[in-house]
Amino acid sequence: MEIIAELAPTLNKDLFLKRLEALRRYVEKVDIPEAPGGRPSAHSLAAGVLAKQVGLEPLVHIRLLDVNMTAFKSLLGGARLLDIEYVVVLQGDPPAEGRPVGEIATEEAVLVAKKMGFKTGALLSLRRDYKQRLKVGADFYLALHLREAWQLADLPQVVYPYILVKTEKNFDLLERLGQTAVSTREALELVRKLEGLAPGVVLSVPRDFQTLLGLLQEVKIRP
């Protein structure tokens, strides 16, 4: 089963590169959100280029809530020039600054990105009618709100669940965003139980990079 690490962009280039180098010991792909929580930061496309420089394959998120179709296609054009292979299209959290645009449906964005030749992902919430979401036609799906491995039992092998890990450093953030999160111990147990049920998982520990590294080390040495 493939292990993917989530790494949010930072404006500190040296720090971001250092973190990418550290992740390279454990994973081959890195999931890069755009403006997580709706707060502006370095763009995921730029972060994706840095990931490729150190030998990682980036899954670059593109927020639809902030753009019209012209801007979206321009971002995809930029991704093509930068040799980005994987994009994840999503509405995103409400922007902390400015007004949402909200002109593009996820279904439409998936079709456009696939037509341009990208391996295109979309988000899937296990709290909602995810069977409808699977009809969007994405190449893969990143699933939110996983708590038990059995939730994936009837899903096709294109669903990569997020395993969000809560720590003292991110507990308030995850509570505010309403995200389902588990302890480090529970995360390791989920990874073990998901073998054979999912093609891979995305490990995410917002605001706590050292815990993410420790978790990846534990996963790597597991029997």
Q: pLDDT value at position 132? A: 84
Centre a 10 Å sphere on the Cβ of residue 201 and count the other Cβ atoms it contains: 27
pLDDT at 88 over 90: yes
DSSP 8-state symbol, 153: T
pLDDT in tens, 96-105: 999 999 999 9
Q: pLDDT value at position 220? A: 85
CATH of the domain at 134: 3.20.20.220
Number of domains comprising the chain = 1
Q: pLDDT value at position 174? A: 82
Cα–Cα distance for residue pair 1/201, rounded to 1 Å: 8
Q: Hey, what are 84's tokens?
A: 């980005």
Q: pLDDT value at position 221? A: 72
> Is 188 exposed, middle or buried (CB count within 10 Å of its CB: 0-12, 13-18, 19+)?
middle
Percent of residues, the chain, with pLDDT higher than 70: 99
Amino acid at 168: E
Cα–Cα distance for residue pair 188/190, rounded to 1 Å: 5
Cα–Cα distance for residue pair 67/161, rounded to 1 Å: 26
Contact 102, 65 (CB under 8 A): yes
Contact 191, 182 (CB under 8 A): no
Cα–Cα distance for residue pair 179/157, rounded to 1 Å: 23
Average pLDDT across the chain, whole number: 95
Q: pLDDT value at position 178? A: 79
Helical (H) or strand (E) element with 86: strand 86-90
Q: pLDDT value at position 223? A: 53
Q: Hey, what are 68's tokens?
A: 């019209």
pLDDT in tens, 165-181: 999 998 888 887 778 89
pLDDT in tens, 145-163: 999 999 998 899 999 999 9
Residue the block writes with tokens 């294109």: 158
Question: Rounded mean pLDDT of 136-153?
Answer: 94
Q: pLDDT value at position 33? A: 98
- Three-class DSSP category at 15: helix
pLDDT in tens, 185-216: 999 999 999 999 999 999 999 999 999 999 99
Residue 57 is part of which domain span? 2-221
Q: Would you place residue 222 in the very low, low, confident or very high pLDDT band (cuts 50, 70, 90)? A: low
